[in-house]
Amino acid sequence: MTAAFQEIALLLAAAAGIGALGLWLRQPLILAYIVVGILAGPMVLGWVTMRDPLDLLAQIGVAVLLFTVGLKLDLHLVRRLGAVALATGLGQLAFTILFGYLLGLALGMDWLKALYVAIALTFSSTIIIIKLLSDKKELDSLHGRIAIGFLIVQDIAVVIAMMAMSSLNMGADAGGLAATLGMIALKLAIAGLLLGVAMRYVLPRLLDRVARSQELMLLFAIAWGVALASLGEVLGFSKEVGAFLAGFSLASSPYREAMSSRLNPVRDFLLLFFFLDLGARLEFQAFEGQIGAALALSAFVLIGNPLIVMSIMGYMGYRKRTGFLAGLTVAQISEFSIVFVAMGVTLGHVGGDALGLVTLVGLVTISVCTYMVLGGQALYEKLKPWLGLFERKVPFRERVAVGKTETVPEIILFGLGRYGGRMMRRLHDQGIATLGVDFDPEAVRRARQHGLAVRFGDAEDAELPATLPLHDARWVVSTLPEPDINRALIAALREHGHRGQVAVAAHNEDDARMLKKSGADLVFHPYFDAADYAAETLAAELLQGVGWAKRSVPNILP
C-alpha cells in the first residue's frame, strides 16, 4: 500500500508540474496529462509498477464523468434532440465502417483485421470530448448537446459490437449472431423498464430525504453512479452506459444542479487518473512499421468523420456552423477502440500489430482533435467559405426557435441566464421592447413560454449579427461573462453596421478596461453592483434602527 501511495503521489506531482508547463505554453491539459502517463509508463521512466490503483481511480473518474453527462439530459431534451443524435450517430457509424473497411483492404489487411480496424475507427471518445466541451463551457450549446447525443449512441454501439464480435469466437452462424443481438435488445428493454419505475416511484422520495444534507447528497450521487456503472457491466453492457443511465435517471430532479456543481471538482480530479492511465498503457514497440498506415487512417478519421456528420446535420436542416462544430467532436477515436481491438487479440481474431496500429491512430487523432475542438470557432471562420455545401438554403431546424417580435426592439440582449434573464424580464415589465438572444435552446424555450421575444443564436457566431435588427436597436447588451466573447461580439456588431450603443458585463476591473478600449459604451459590474446595492440596503436598515432607538429612549428612561 505504501508503494502504491508513493506512486500516486509522484504522478500527482508530475501532473501538476507538466500541467503548469502546458498552461504556460498554452497547450491543452489533456495532452499534458497523457504525456505524464507516457513518461511514467514502462516504456520511459517506469514509475508505474502497480497498475490496479491507477486503473481503479481512472474507472471511477469515467463513471462520475458519464454520470454528470446524464444529469444534463432530461426527458424533454432527449425527445427534442433524439432524432438528430440517432441519425447522426448511426450514419457516421455506417459510413466509417464501410469506407474504413475498404481503406483497410487497400492497405493490405485481411478481411477480419480490416473489419476490426474499421469498427474501431467509428468510436469517438465521449470522455475526452465532454471534458473539452466542459472546459469551453459549450456542454449546453446546441452543437454540444447534439454531440453528446450521438456520442452516447456510439457508446451503446460499442457494447453491441463487442458482444457481436465475441460471438464469432464461438463459431456462431447468422442465427447465433441474431440471437445475441436479440438478447442485447432484451436487456436494454428490461434495464429501461426498471429505470423508468425507479425514476417514477423510488428516486423522488429518496432524494427528498438525502437532500437534507449536502454531504450526503454528494455521496449518494457518486454511489448511485458507480453502482449503476458496475451493474451495467454485470448485465453485459459497459460501465459508461450504466453511469450515464444513472445520471439520466436523476436529470428531471430539482436537485440535479446542486449535484452537478458539487461533482465537478471530484470529476476533474478523478479524470486526471484516466488520462495518466491512458498514456501509461501505450507500447511503442508495437508501432514499428505502422507509421504509414496509421497516418492514412488518421487522416480518414480527422477529415471523413466530421464530413459525414456535417452532411447529415445539414440535410436535417441545421446550419453549417452547428454541423461543423458538432462534427469536430468525432475527429478522433476512443479508448474503447483500443479496448475493442485488444479483445480481438485475446480472442485470436487479430494480432498485436492491429492493436499497435489502432493505438497509434488514437494517439494522433486525440492530439490533433483536441486542438481542433478548442480552436473550433477560429477554424470555422477560416473554412466558412467552403462549408456552404453542408447547409440548406433554409436551415429550418434552427429557425424553428426564432421568435418573431411584434414591435421593433429598442434593446437586443445577449445571454438569458440568471442575470440576463432577470434584466430582460424587468425591461419587459417596464414596456421596453427587448429582443433576447441565447445559444441554449432550453433557455429560449422558457423565455418564449413567458411571452418574451427571443431568438436562438450564439454570440461567438460572427454571422449572427447580420440576422438581427441592428439598425433599429438603440442598445445591444451582452450579459455574457467571457470578455473575449464580448470583445468579438463588439467587433462583429460594428462590422455589420450597428450604429447604436453597446453595453457589456465584466466581472473585474481589468476586463472592464479592456472592453472599454474595444468599443463598449457602457460596462456593467454585476458583482460590484449587487454588493453596492446590498451595502446600501443594510446601511439604510441600520439607520432606521438607530432612529427608532433614539426615539424610544426617552419613553423607557425615568
In the chain, helix, strand, coil percent, each to 5? Answer: 70, 5, 25
pLDDT tens digits, residue range 315-363? Answer: 888 888 888 888 888 898 876 787 778 777 777 788 777 877 887 888 8
Q: How many C-beta neighbours within 10 Å does residue 232 have?
A: 24
pLDDT at residue number 164 = 66
Torsion of CA 142, 316, 449, 407, to 10 degrees: 100
pLDDT tens digits, residue range 23-38? Answer: 787 666 777 787 888 8
Q: Map out the domains of the chain as residue ranges.
A: 1-49, 50-390, 401-524, 534-558
- Does the model's pTM come out above 0.85? no
pLDDT at residue number 475 = 92
For residue 476, the cross-strand partners are: 412, 502
- Mean pLDDT throughout 431-442? 84
pLDDT tens digits, residue range 147-165? Answer: 887 887 777 776 667 666 6
pLDDT at residue number 332 = 87
Q: Regarding the domain delimited by 50-390, which CATH topology (the fold level of the hierarchy) does it fall under?
A: Na+/H+ antiporter like fold (1.20.1530)
The answer to whether residue 552 scores a pLDDT higher than 50 is no
What one-character-per-residue DSSP string does 253-306 give? STTHHHHHHHHHHHHHHHHHHHHHHHHHT--GGGGTT-HHHHHHHHHIIIIIHH
The answer to whether residue 174 scores a pLDDT higher than 70 is no
pLDDT band at 73 (very low <50, low <70, confident <90, very high): low
pLDDT at residue number 406 = 46
pLDDT band at 136 (very low <50, low <70, confident <90, very high): confident
CATH superfamily, with its number, for domain 401-524: NAD(P)-binding Rossmann-like Domain (3.40.50.720)
For 141: left if phi > 0, alpha if psi spans -120 to 50, otherwise beta; the answer is: beta
The answer to whether residue 437 scores a pLDDT higher than 70 is yes
pLDDT at residue number 99 = 92
User: Contact, 516 vs 523, CB < 8 A?
Assistant: yes
- Mean pLDDT throughout 62-78? 70
Classify residue 552 as exposed, middle or buried by CB count within 10 Å of its CB (0-12, 13-18, 19+).
Answer: exposed
User: Contact, 398 vs 326, CB < 8 A?
Assistant: no
Cα(141)–Cα(146) distance, integer angstroms: 9
pLDDT at residue number 80 = 62
Cα(371)–Cα(305) distance, integer angstroms: 16
User: Contact, 272 vs 61, CB < 8 A?
Assistant: yes
pLDDT band at 411 (very low <50, low <70, confident <90, very high): very high
Lowest-confidence segment of 8-12, 177-181, 400-404, 532-536 by average pLDDT = 400-404
pLDDT tens digits, residue range 235-266? Answer: 766 677 778 788 888 877 777 777 777 787 88
Mean residue pLDDT of the chain comes to: 79
